[in-house]
């Protein structure tokens, strides 16, 4: 009886183990990627990865979490482009988190008080097939 039970349960345990082991890979494809938007306190604006690399492209259709650190009450962080229009206020010093999904397009982030000098762009590309 005991042997029979063990024989039946072992394949199930292996199956469950296999599913659990596969789960992190599935999550990696759906978990939002975090980017960092920073403006001020100097006359500077940027969108970077966690390691500080300036963002030049993102993947269209993926979820991104954008942590915006607006460190000045004379600048703001404004993100705009196809389907996206988010901004902090010029007056406020604040940190906010936005959940954004981009379409295949070019996006712009800028300070509305200094749109000529405090501006950056990046491209959202369709995922590689
Ligand atoms: Cu500004």
| 59, 114: one domain | yes
Say how far apart CA 74 and CA 128 lie, in whole Å: 40
Q: How far, in Å, from the CA of 106 to the mean position of ligand 1? A: 21
Q: What is the mean pLDDT of residues 3-13?
A: 49
Same-domain check for residues 20 and 62 = no
Domain, as residue range, for 103: 32-125
DSSP 78: E
Q: How confident is the model at residue 15 (pLDDT cuts 50, 70, 90)?
A: very low
- Tokens 């901004």 locate to 87
Distance CA 32, CA 122 (A): 18
- Interval 21-48: pLDDT, tens: 444 444 555 688 999 999 999 999 999 9
Neighbours of ion ligand 1 (CB under 5 A): 75, 111, 113-114, 118
Q: How many domains does the chain have?
A: 2
Note whether 92 and 117 are same-domain residues. Answer: yes
Residues 43 and 97 in one domain: yes
16 shares its domain with 40:
no
Tell whether 103 and 118 lie within a shared domain: yes
């Amino acid at each position: 009886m005991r042997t029979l039970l063990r024989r039946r349960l072992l394949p199930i345990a292996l199956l469950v183990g296999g599913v659990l082991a596969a789960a992190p890979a599935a999550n990696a494809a759906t978990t939002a990627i975090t980017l960092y938007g920073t403006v001020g306190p100097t006359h500077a604006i940027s969108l970077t990865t966690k390691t500080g690399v300036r963002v030049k492209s993102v993947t269209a259709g993926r979820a991104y979490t954008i942590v915006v650190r607006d460190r000045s009450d004379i600048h703001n962080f404004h993100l705009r482009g196809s389907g996206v229009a988010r901004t902090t206020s010029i007056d406020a010093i604040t940190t906010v988190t936005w959940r954004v999904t981009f379409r295949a397009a070019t996006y712009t982030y800028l300070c509305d008080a200094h749109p000529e000098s405090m501006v950056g762009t990046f491209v959202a590309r369709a995922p590689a097939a």
